[in-house]
Amino acid sequence: MAQINVSNLTFGYEGSYDTIFENVSFSIDTSWKLGFVGRNGKGKTTFLQLLLGKYEYQGAITRSVVFDYFPYPVKQKDLERTAAELMEDWKAGVESWRVLCELEKVDMDAELLYRPFGTLSFGERTRVMLAVLFSGENDFLLIDEPTNHLDQDAREIIKKYLASKKGFILVSHDRDLLDACIDHVLVLNRASIEVQSGNFSSWWENKEKADNFARMEHEKHVKEIGKLKAAADRSSRWAEKNENTKIGYDPAKEHDRSISTRSYIGAKTKKMQSRVKAYEERMDREIEKKEGLLKDIETVKDLKIMPLSHYKERLIECRDFSLKYRDGKENVITGLNFELK
């Protein structure tokens, strides 16, 4: 059991005004099944690349394990090679017998290792890569969106396979996959990073509670600030009005007023001004408490779609349609009939 420690990590792409990470610090355990979540563009894939040492950064990332990354790179010329030939390029020193053992766990026939890689479906390619990925020892694995382009059956196989493993970071937008496979969550919020125990649903439930509490606290502080501001404005007007009475008065109407009255009015004005200052100090404290309460709350804009009528009722009509891949022997679709209106 080892630790991966991230200390004061700061990184931004060259030429970009904003940094992606700013003095980020946290620790994760290499035995965890860690889900990595955050909104698009927040830096999930970038962080995995930083772990792999692909970019220069400020701060420190310390670890005692070797990282390996899914998906492996596949160039156009690699599609003509077999997975058995590509394995050594993907994972140096990989042992074939380990890969064969992992292939069985992802419901794959070993014969697929010896076909041209380009003839495999996306689901088959994914499972072959995962089998190679998990065939090492003491690696900490970085898995980026493994269910992209997969049908439901392939997703279920991947979900069951990953649920039996540990020692990885899994980036995915598939909540069902995350709930089935992880025991900790690393979250890139809008303005912070947090690590929690549990799966995606437990983190989301905690987040909603925290967000609701933050909203209520924010509203409470806003109301209190409004009350204090009104009271400060009122006291300020009173003080100004009172101060204006020090100079100039009507002897007929204020025949009992003497010169000593000016000092009394001044003292009263000073007291009112002190009250205004106290209100302003309380406002500052309320504003300080309010700051940051909504920093991690995501807001969703309503999407309005206004369908337009098309000049044709039928866009596409398909009758007895068949399809096969260029190098395939059999049709993948036969006798398909449909129309799109």
193 and 46 together in one domain? yes
- Residue 134 domain-assigned (yes or no): yes
In percent, the amount of the chain with pLDDT more than 70 equals 92
Burial class (CB in 10 A: 0-12, 13-18, 19+), 147: buried
- Residue 315 domain-assigned (yes or no): no
161 and 248 together in one domain? no
The more confidently predicted of residues 190 and 334 is 334
Burial class (CB in 10 A: 0-12, 13-18, 19+), 227: middle
- Residue 324 domain-assigned (yes or no): no
Last residue of a domain, one of 290, 306, 324: 290
Last residue of a domain, one of 248, 265, 290: 290
Condensed to tens digits (0 to 9), the pLDDT of residues 297-316 reads 877 788 888 888 878 888 89
Q: Minimal CA–CA distance to 103: which of 89, 119, 120?
A: 120
41 and 181 together in one domain? yes
145 and 184 together in one domain? yes
Domain harbouring 184, CATH code: 3.40.50.300
- Residue 329 domain-assigned (yes or no): no
Q: Minimal CA–CA distance to 69: which of 53, 85, 86, 93?
A: 53
Q: Which domain holds residue 192?
A: 3-199
3-class DSSP string for 27-55: EEECCCEEEEEECCCCCHHHHHHHHCCCC
- Residue 76 domain-assigned (yes or no): yes
26 and 110 together in one domain? yes
pLDDT for 259: 54
240 and 124 together in one domain? no
186 and 46 together in one domain? yes
Residues 283 and 225: beta-carbon distance below 8 Å? yes
**What is the mean predicted confidence (pLDDT) over 273-298?**
79
155 and 219 together in one domain? no
pTM of the entire structure? 0.72
89 and 20 together in one domain? yes
d(CA 44, CA 166): 19
161 and 285 together in one domain? no
Residue at 130: amino acid letter: L
- Residue 332 domain-assigned (yes or no): no
- pLDDT for residue 162 is more than 80: yes
d(CA 9, CA 23): 5
pLDDT for 99: 93
185 and 224 together in one domain? no
Q: Report residue 260's pLDDT band, with 50, 70 and 90 as the boundaries.
A: low
d(CA 144, CA 36): 9
Last residue of a domain, one of 150, 165, 199: 199
d(CA 125, CA 146): 10
Q: Report residue 282's pLDDT band, with 50, 70 and 90 as the boundaries.
A: confident
Q: Report residue 250's pLDDT band, with 50, 70 and 90 as the boundaries.
A: low
Instruction: At 191, list the tokens.
Output: 């303005």
How open is the CA angle 16-18-23, to the nearest 5 degrees?
Answer: 125
- Residue 331 domain-assigned (yes or no): no
- pLDDT for residue 42 is more than 90: no
Can you name the residues that pair with 34 across neighbouring β-strands?
Answer: 169, 184
163 and 128 together in one domain? yes
What DSSP element (H or E) covers 336?
Answer: strand 333-340
In percent, the amount of the chain with pLDDT more than 90 equals 49
* Domain count along the chain: 2
- Residue 314 domain-assigned (yes or no): no
**What is the mean predicted confidence (pLDDT) over 48-77?**
92
Mean pLDDT, the chain, integer? 86
